[in-house]
Chains A and B, each alone.
Chain A
Amino acid sequence: MQAGELLDAGYRYALALPNDREEAEDLVQDAWIKLHERARLLRGRGYFLRTIRNLFIDRHRRNRMILLEPLPADDRLAGSDDASAGTSSAESAIGALVQIGDAQLHAALARLRPEEREALYLNAVEGLSASRIAAMTHRPRSTVLSLIQRGKHKMQRLLHNATEERHESQTRG
């Protein structure tokens, strides 16, 4: 893998953690320097991503921000048990996925918790199974599955709400 490809892969993953481009660039730069200082180029992509993750955790621990903590047991989405509401929510969210631009998607992703965003990224973009994500992030597989499911439910709700708001503004207009 060329250095440029590895840097981009690291940047995309870094972006999924804080959802902030500047911070993602800083993480990639710090991880890259660390990788070279310790002469660990032979370990490749997986090691680079883990270094980025560890730096992210260290940085936020230093700033006393509480991130990547266990899921609360009652973190349920309002209305998610309502079958008919769920169906229309999913359909309108799919519609929103088609219509919205990257900036709006980025804004919706920013509403997720970092661990949910990370799990979604690793699963959907990197194509990792829940077991592999669990091994990489040192979490139980069941927690990873919950993170993916909850992340998707949140995105569904956010996109559905965005569609509803757009309809309302169009009606008013």
Chain B
Amino acid sequence: MSRKPEADAAFSRALDGRLRAHYRNETLSVAARERILANTPEKSRGLIRRPLFAGALGFLLCALLVLGGVGLREYQTDQLYARLADEIAYNHRKAMPVEFASGDLRAIAVYLDRLDFALSGAQSQLPVDARLLGARYCKVDGQLAAQLQLERANGRLQTLYVAPARAGLAGIAAERRIERSESGPAASTAPVRVVIWQSAGLFFGLAEDARR
């Protein structure tokens, strides 16, 4: 049996080792290194970053951008809910009387004929134990809306605001419960509990006094 392959392999390993030792002893002369570095911009003489580092840096920046984008969007949504809750709580506190007293949503829809959306879509969103007392016009986020007065089975009075989910109101999706109090030491009224949601293209805001 031939010993040639084993001998060749042994030589190959020996040559590799010798080449490593040979080349690793080779370094740029001090004069050449100084000459090269003297022509290098000052800021580049320090650490030369590896591609891995650059990749990691790029990944980190992308992640920050994505997280920043998600965070910003979340923040803007929070701000929208808070602003609308403030507006609805403010309207609820004013306790304006109804313009048209009726327990029939279809009759109210006929009366509020300036609305540019079908108020009948609110029927499915009325609480099952609620009695409709009447309605008036109002504005939510600058849009003409319906303000419905409700009385629940436990006697609590609630105001339901209905508007088309357009413009800023289109940003409302998931239901959120928010409690709003008047700020400052002079606050005299009870806090208002507001629930905001969207359904079938309509915006809904339900408000009631929180301490009752």
Q: From the candidates A15, A87, A121, A155, name the one contacting B4 in the complex (CB within 8 A).
A: A87
A29-B51 in contact (CB<8A):
no
Residue-by-residue, is B24-39 near A (CB-CB < 8 Å gives 1, otherwise 0)? Answer: 1111110011011101
**Distance to closest chain A CB from B34 (angstroms):** 11
Cβ of A8 under 8 Å from chain B: yes
Q: How far is the CA of A2 from the CA of B36 in the complex (A)?
A: 14
Q: Is B75 interfacial (CB-CB < 8 Å)?
A: no
Q: Decide: A11 and B7 in contact? CB cutoff 8 A.
A: no
- For chain A, the count of residues having a C-beta within 8 Å of the partner chain is 45
Q: Is the CB of B44 within 8 A of A41?
A: yes
Q: Which one of B24, B29, B44 has the greatest number of beta carbons of chain A within 10 Å?
A: B44
Contact B14 A42 (CB under 8 A): no
User: What's the least CB distance linking B10 to chain A, in Å?
Assistant: 6
A100→B32 CA distance, assembly (Å)? 28
Question: Does A43 contact B54, Cβ atoms closer than 8 Å?
Answer: yes
Chain A residues whose C-beta falls within 8 Å of the C-beta of B15 in the assembled complex = 93, 97, 120, 124, 152, 155-156
| 36-56 of chain B: CB within 8 A of chain A | 36-37, 39-41, 44-51, 53-54
Given known contacts A3-B48, A44-B50, A124 and B19 CB-to-CB distance under 8 angstroms = yes
Task: State whether the Cβ of B123 lies closer than 8 Å to any Cβ in chain A.
Answer: no
Interchain CB contact under 8 A, A41 and B48: yes
Q: Taking the complex as formed, is B59 at the interface, i.e. its CB lies under 8 A from any CB of chain A?
A: no
Q: Which residues of A contact B24 (CB under 8 A)?
A: 12, 125
Partner of A90, one of B10, B36, B49: B10
Q: Are A46 and B26 in contact (CB under 8 A)?
A: no
Q: CA–CA, A1 to B51, complex, Å?
A: 11
1/0 per residue, CB under 8 A from A, across B46-85: the answer is 1111110110000000000000000000000000000000
List the count of A-B residue pairs having beta carbons below 8 Å apart. Answer: 119
Is there an interface contact between B26 and A3, defined as CB atoms closer than 8 Å?
no
Q: Is B20 among interface residues, defined by CB-CB distance under 8 A?
A: yes
Closest Cβ neighbor of B27 among chain A residues: A8
Q: Cβ of B36 and Cβ of A93 under 8 Å apart? A: no
Give A3 to B8 CA distance when docked, in angstroms. 39
What 1/0 mask marks residues of chain A from 66 to 97 whose CB sits below 8 Å from any chain B CB? 00000000000000000110110011011001
Contact of B35 with A87 in the complex, beta carbons under 8 Å: no
Q: What is the distance, in angstroms, from B23's C-beta to the closest C-beta of chain A?
A: 5
Closest to A39 in B: B44
State A36–B19 Cα separation when bound (angstroms).
31
Q: Is A25 an interface residue (CB 8 A)?
A: yes
A28 at interface (Cβ–Cβ under 8 A)?
yes
Q: Contact at A42–B29, with CB atoms within 8 Å?
A: no
Are A124 and B28 in contact (CB-based, < 8 A)? no
Contacting residue for A93 out of B11, B22, B23, B41, CB 8 A: B11
A16 within 8 A of B: yes
Please pick, from A7, A41, A93, A94, the residue contacting B28 in the complex, using a CB distance under 8 A.
Answer: A7
5 closest A-B pairs by CB: A90-B7, A124-B16, A83-B2, A90-B11, A86-B4
| Residues of chain B whose beta carbon lies under 8 Å from any beta carbon of chain A | 2-4, 7-8, 10-12, 14-16, 18-20, 22-29, 32-33, 35-37, 39-41, 44-51, 53-54
- Name 5 interchain pairs, CB-CB below 8 A, sorted by A: A12-B23, A29-B36, A87-B7, A106-B22, A124-B20
Sample of 4 further A-B pairs with CB below 8 A, known A12-B23, A90-B10, A156-B11: A3-B44, A3-B45, A16-B23, A87-B7
